[in-house]
């Protein structure tokens, strides 16, 4: 993604996220709102949806596989996988809830409640110490804990974000993802 396009996307998502969460929902929590805007910027690139890999290098595309992988890791690496599970489930349940059934259909995730797993994953990530953090955009444990506690409201807020970008001319027919 070209740097100027990245800056424009960041400004766009920061603006619509701030409007949806602070103005529409009355949620005055700048670190949480900034985190959600950055999540949207990251997930515009489809490869960011599936960064977790097995020890063999295979992309893990199902939450059930990510949960198993998280149990195999320790410290910051475990925190990073749980954080991603929270991000992944928040993104799909908030922005594209109509796609979840298709994602889960016929897969190991068929019986997984994405919202409950997202809450749980953010909570676990918030409890793992961040010393020696290797994540480029390390989230503060307090923000992850609030994402766990406010998951349902964040899902609703992301729905508002989607409505805002659709009203501003964004495509709403399917996921806004770049290869």
Does residue 170 surpass a pLDDT of 70? no
Domain range summary for the chain, segments of one domain joined by +: 3-167
pLDDT in tens, 1-20: 555 556 888 999 999 999 99
129 Cβ contact list (under 8 Å, min separation 6): 75
Query: How many Å apart are CA 3 and CA 5, to the nearest integer?
Result: 5
Residue 22 half-sphere exposure toward CB, CA atoms < 13 A: 15
Does residue 38 surpass a pLDDT of 70? yes
Total Cβ atoms within 10 A of residue 75 = 14
Find the helix packing angle between 141-149 and 151-167, rounded to 10°.
90
pLDDT classification of 169: cutoffs 50, 70, 90:
low
* Alpha carbon separation from 49 to 15, 26, 30, 89 (Å, rounded): 22, 29, 24, 10
Residue 59 has φ and ψ, to the nearest 5°, of -65, 130
- Check residues 49 and 78 and name the one with the higher pLDDT: 78
């Amino acid at each position: 993604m070209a740097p100027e396009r990245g800056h424009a996307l960041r400004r766009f998502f920061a603006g619509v996220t701030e409007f949806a969460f602070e103005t529409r929902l009355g949620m005055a929590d700048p670190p949480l709102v900034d985190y959600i805007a950055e999540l949207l910027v990251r997930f515009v690139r489809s490869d960011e949806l599936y960064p977790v890999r097995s020890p063999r290098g295979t992309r893990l595309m199902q939450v059930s596989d990510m949960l198993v992988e998280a149990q195999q890791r320790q410290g910051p690496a475990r925190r990073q996988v749980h954080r991603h599970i929270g991000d992944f489930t928040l993104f799909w349940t908030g922005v594209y809830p109509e796609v979840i059934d298709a994602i889960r259909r016929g897969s190991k995730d068929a019986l997984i409640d994405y919202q409950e797993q997202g809450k749980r994953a953010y909570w676990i990530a918030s409890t793992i110490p961040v010393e020696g953090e290797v994540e480029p955009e390390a989230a503060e444990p307090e923000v992850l804990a609030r994402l766990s506690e406010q998951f349902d409201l964040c899902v609703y807020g992301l729905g508002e974000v989607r409505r805002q970008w659709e009203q501003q001319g964004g495509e709403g027919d399917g996921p806004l993802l770049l290869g």
